[in-house]
């Protein structure tokens, strides 16, 4: 596994990057960070890139490859990628495939990317068949978590990350779950963030290629991704997965007797965050079934889904498309 480097300030971040990079390297930054002028102190060449879930596609990958070619990168160089989850997914795929692979370091700039996208080696992009249908497993050289970058986030973007963190709690840590649901101010301490990262890393160490236990990290995402795509990404990833987890908690109660208290605590937490608790699907059942069939966890007429017996007691089972469609209709 790559090493995690925890820094408190952007000053430390700049010093680390300037001291760690080979001479001919490239720093790619999310355009959302341009106003903070991080680039003004970097020694290596840099470029800003505007990305979104709607542009998480092959066309953007080709733009990134072109940037790398124009920068004359070779395989002994390195790319530093600074941004949110979409940025990290796209650029790490491009780095992994450029000239058959160039080293890269990830610097997540959002809470969501800090606790999820920057860890585990997954990368890729969307196509007409769904989210992240094309991608690789390839670990970065390192992940640099700079906590001061959280100050650049709007409240809603910060809350998106909390959804992934509370998911980590539900599948792996009563302490994290109860810390989050009991806090009055939604902002959390760095200690809790580090613990959330460790939950994911411990799982990935056991099952890097997602043949078993790593699928636990998909809790809430089977229905969450359906919601996300049905909304044409008008709902953020965090908002969609937040609702997806409600559906999957209810399924957990049905299949494994999950205590209602856990569901109530989670719903109360969403109310604190001022997040939606329901979603009305706009597209036809046939459309939703096509999305389900393209899900990487799907079989011919069922999909693998993660359900809980209790907090930190996940189970992986297959449920039929019919049952899943019935759940979201009701």
* d(C-alpha 14, C-alpha 210), whole Å: 34
Give the contacts of 38 (CB within 8 A, at least 6 positions apart): 10, 13, 14, 29, 82
Task: With H, G, I as helix, E, B as strand and everything else as coil, classify residue 225.
Answer: helix
Per-residue buried b or exposed e for 50-59, using 16+ beta carbons within 10 Å of the residue's own CB: ebebeebbee
Question: Is the separation of the CB atoms in 138 and 118 below 8 Å?
Answer: no
How many CA atoms does the CB half-sphere of 57 hold within 13 Å? Answer: 8
Give the pLDDT score at 79: 97
At residue 21 the predicted structure's pLDDT band, cuts being 50, 70 and 90, is: confident
Task: With H, G, I as helix, E, B as strand and everything else as coil, classify residue 90.
Answer: helix
Give the contacts of 109 (CB within 8 A, at least 6 positions apart): 30, 32, 33, 82, 83, 84, 87, 149, 152
pLDDT tens digits, 137-158: 999 999 999 999 999 999 999 9
Q: Domain coordinates of the chain in residue numbers?
A: 3-152, 159-329
Give yes or no for residue 279 having a pLDDT over 90: yes
Determine phi and psi for 144, rounding to 5 degrees: -110, 110
For the chain, the first-to-last Cα distance in angstroms comes to 42
* d(C-alpha 192, C-alpha 106), whole Å: 20
For domain 159-329, give the fold. Dehydroquinate synthase-like, alpha domain (1.20.1090)
pLDDT tens digits, 226-271: 999 999 999 999 999 999 999 999 999 999 999 999 999 999 999 9
Give the pLDDT score at 130: 87
At residue 330 the predicted structure's pLDDT band, cuts being 50, 70 and 90, is: confident
At residue 136 the predicted structure's pLDDT band, cuts being 50, 70 and 90, is: very high
% of the chain surpassing 90 pLDDT: 87
Give the pLDDT score at 212: 92
Give the contacts of 98 (CB within 8 A, at least 6 positions apart): 65, 68, 73
* d(C-alpha 272, C-alpha 63), whole Å: 40
Give the pLDDT score at 302: 92
Question: Does the reported pTM lie above 0.85?
Answer: yes
Does the domain formed by 3-152 have CATH 3.40.50.1970?
A: yes
């Amino acid at each position: 596994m790559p090493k995690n480097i925890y820094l408190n300030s952007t000053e430390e971040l700049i010093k680390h990057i300037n001291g760690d990079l080979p001479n001919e390297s490239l720093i790619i930054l999310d355009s959302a960070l341009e106003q903070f002028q991080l680039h003004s102190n970097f020694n290596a060449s840099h470029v800003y890139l505007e990305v979104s879930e709607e542009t998480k596609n092959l066309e953007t990958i080709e733009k990134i490859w072109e940037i790398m070619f124009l920068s004359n990168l070779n395989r002994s160089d390195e790319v530093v990628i600074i941004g949110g989850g979409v940025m990290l997914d796209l650029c790490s795929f491009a780095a992994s495939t450029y000239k058959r692979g160039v080293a890269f370091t990830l610097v997540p700039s959002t809470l969501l990317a800090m606790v999820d996208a920057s860890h585990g080696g997954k990368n890729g992009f969307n196509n007409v068949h769904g989210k992240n249908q094309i991608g690789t497993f390839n670990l970065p050289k390192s992940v640099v978590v700079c906590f001061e970058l959280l100050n650049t986030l709007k409240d809603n973007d910060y809350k998106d990350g909390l959804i992934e963190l509370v998911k980590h709690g539900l599948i792996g840590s009563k302490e994290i779950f109860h810390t989050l649901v009991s806090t009055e101010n939604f902002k959390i301490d760095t200690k809790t963030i580090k613990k959330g990262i460790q939950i994911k890393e411990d799982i990935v160490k056991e099952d890097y290629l997602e043949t078993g236990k790593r699928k636990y990290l998909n809790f809430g995402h089977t229905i969450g991704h359906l919601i996300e795509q049905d909304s044409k990404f008008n709902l953020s990833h965090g908002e969609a997965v937040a609702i997806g987890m409600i559906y999957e908690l209810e399924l957990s109660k049905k299949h494994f007797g999950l205590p209602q208290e856990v569901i109530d605590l989670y719903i109360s937490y969403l109310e604190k965050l001022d997040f939606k608790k329901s979603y009305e699907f706009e597209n036809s059942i046939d459309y939703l079934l096509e999305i389900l069939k393209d899900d990487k966890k799907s079989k011919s007429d069922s999909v693998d889904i993660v359900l809980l017996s209790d907090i930190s007691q996940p189970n992986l089972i297959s449920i039929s498309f019919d049952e899943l469609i019935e759940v979201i209709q009701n």
